[in-house]
Amino acid sequence: MNQLFGYRAGNSFIHRLTGGTKLLAFLILTMSGMVSFDLRYLALLIVVAIAGLVVAGIRWRDVSAVVYFVGVFALMNVVLIYVFAPQYGVSLFHHKMVLLGSGPYALTLEQLVYELIVLMKYVFSLPLALIFLLTTNPSEFAAGLNKIGVSYRIAYAVALTLRYIPDVQQEFVTISHAQQARGYDMSKKAPLVQRVRGAAGILMPLLFSSLARIDDISRSMDLRRFGKEKRRSWYYQQTFRRNDWIVLVGMVVLVVIEFVLIRVTGGRFWWSI
């Protein structure tokens, strides 16, 4: 079974970047996209994110399950936005063009544009998260975090979290196989309700095994007196290279483009259909 998350070794341009660079790029692009409601800028971020997936060599079969899950969640989100705030787009754009119906649930062009913007935010942020998770070695990432000023204790905690994500998935699969060996059918042939019950029955064993593993790691780190000193050395010591600076300059350029668009447009909101 393919891991949904976890580092996959590679030799692409993105794999060769330092962990600190990838973190900064991920944070800068994500925050820029969340702040903007400009269709032009969001379309640019989508192109950048998809290009990053291609450059990183991430295969569709490795991320298809995550994409389907997030896609369903995103569609549910836009439907619920319309159900609970059907005129929110009108309040944002200060204009109303009714396309269908009447009353509070009248379908307006502004609401459709707003929900399109919400979907575009999912479309660009998901590839960025996948690139970051699948191309970043946890140990290398911890060293990079420490290099940009983050406490090594926090950096280690983040690295352990990234390392533990694939282990949790593998533990889930192991418990699932054990449950099925006892006669609990959770395959695609089983009814949906039965599969949901089976998945719920896995959560408690998974929780207890995770807590036991966390306790083992904590004891091991205490025995090695982790955290006693203010600084530490790193096996994966990193220095910013030319490619890292190129990417960081590119991030600055994208942020400048966003500020220019805000200045020219007179605000964070822009659309034209």
Instruction: Say what the pTM is.
Output: 0.73
Q: How many domains does the chain have?
A: 1
Write the CA distances from 227 to 143, 154, 203, 222, 231, integer angstroms: 15, 10, 32, 8, 9
Q: Tell me which residue range forms the domain holding 18.
A: 1-136+241-273
Q: Is 64 contained in some domain?
A: yes
Is residue 146 a part of any domain in this protein?
Answer: no
Residue 145 in any domain: the answer is: no
269 occurs within a structural domain: yes
Residue 251: pLDDT band by 50, 70, 90 thresholds?
A: very high
Per-residue pLDDT tens digits for 221-234: 776 667 676 777 66
Any domain includes 12: yes
Place of tokens 């660009």: 124
Beta bridge partners of 38: 270
Compute the CA torsion angle 132, 134, 135, 141 (nearest 10 deg).
60
Question: Is residue 177, in this structure, part of any structural domain at all?
Answer: no
So what's the pLDDT on residue 48? 92
Are the CB atoms for 113 and 273 separated by under 8 Å?
yes
Report yes or no on 55 lying in a domain.
yes
Residue pLDDT, tens place only, 56-112: 888 888 788 788 888 888 888 888 888 888 888 888 887 788 888 777 888 888 888
In a domain, 33, yes or no: yes
- Provide the sign of the torsion angle of the four alpha carbons 215, 217, 223, 228, taken in this order: negative
